[in-house]
Each structure stands twice: as structure tokens, then as C-alpha cells.
């Protein structure tokens, strides 16, 4: 989670609001449904690409490059390079 400090101007101010009050809010910036995701902890990033370690049927681990999409607090969306059902190795 990222925190930002902002100043807000309210047009139709409620009588219960006073200058200097603080609030904590959550803002959803991307909401996607039916998207393949991998845990952020499993993603290995270098300067040019993103990878995950996949566990094959024989138990062998293979580093596999994929194209990431949006990154959330816990998961990274997969644009291409991985398929549903593949076993991702967590650190």
C-alpha cells in the first residue's frame, strides 16, 4: 500500500466537517475480473524483464519470462507468457 498526503477541498461542506480534520481512505485504481495473476512475492524482476519460477510435472524448476500487467498489493496481473494451472514457486 502506498500512502499519499493530500489536501481536499469540499464543495458542499457538511456541518460536521471542520478545517484540519484528517481521514484515511482507500482508493481502488484498477479493478479487473477474470485475470490471471501471480503472487508479487513470486515475481523476479530485472532491468529488462519479469520472471517466475515454475515447477514442472517432474518437479524441475524453470525460470519463465512473462509480461506483467498491473501490480497490486499482493498480486501481479499476467498479460502473456503464463497459463492458468501452471505451478508457481514461492520463495
Q: Specify the number of domains making up the chain.
A: 1
23-67 pLDDT, tens digit per residue, is: 888 777 777 789 999 999 999 999 999 999 999 999 999 999 999
Q: What percent of the chain has pLDDT over 70?
A: 96
Neighbouring residues of 47: CB distance < 8 A, sequence distance ≥ 6 = none
Whole-angstrom distance, CA of residue 88 vs CA of residue 56:
9
**Structural domain contains residue 62:** yes
Q: Which has more pLDDT, 5 or 68?
A: 68
- Residue 12 domain-assigned (yes or no): no
- Which pLDDT does position 26 carry in this prediction? 78
* Look-up of cell digits 477541498: 9
Residue at 29 is within a domain = no
41: Cβ contacts below 8 Å, ≥ 6 apart:
90, 91
Is the pTM for the entire model greater than 0.85?
A: no
- 58 within some domain: yes
46: domain CATH number is 2.40.420.20
75, with CB counted inside 10 A (0-12, 13-18, 19+), is middle
What share of the chain in percent tops pLDDT 90? 58
Amino acid at each position: 500500500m502506498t500512502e499519499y498526503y493530500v489536501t481536499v477541498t469540499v464543495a458542499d461542506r457538511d456541518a460536521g466537517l471542520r478545517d484540519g480534520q484528517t481521514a484515511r481512505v482507500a482508493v481502488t485504481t484498477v479493478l479487473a475480473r477474470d485475470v490471471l495473476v501471480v503472487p508479487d512475492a513470486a515475481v523476479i524482476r530485472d532491468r529488462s524483464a519479469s520472471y517466475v519460477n515454475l515447477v514442472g510435472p517432474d518437479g524441475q524448476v524453470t525460470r519463465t519470462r512473462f509480461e506483467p500487467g498491473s501490480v497490486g498489493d499482493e498480486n501481479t496481473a499476467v498479460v502473456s507468457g503464463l497459463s492458468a494451472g501452471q505451478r508457481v514457486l514461492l520463495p
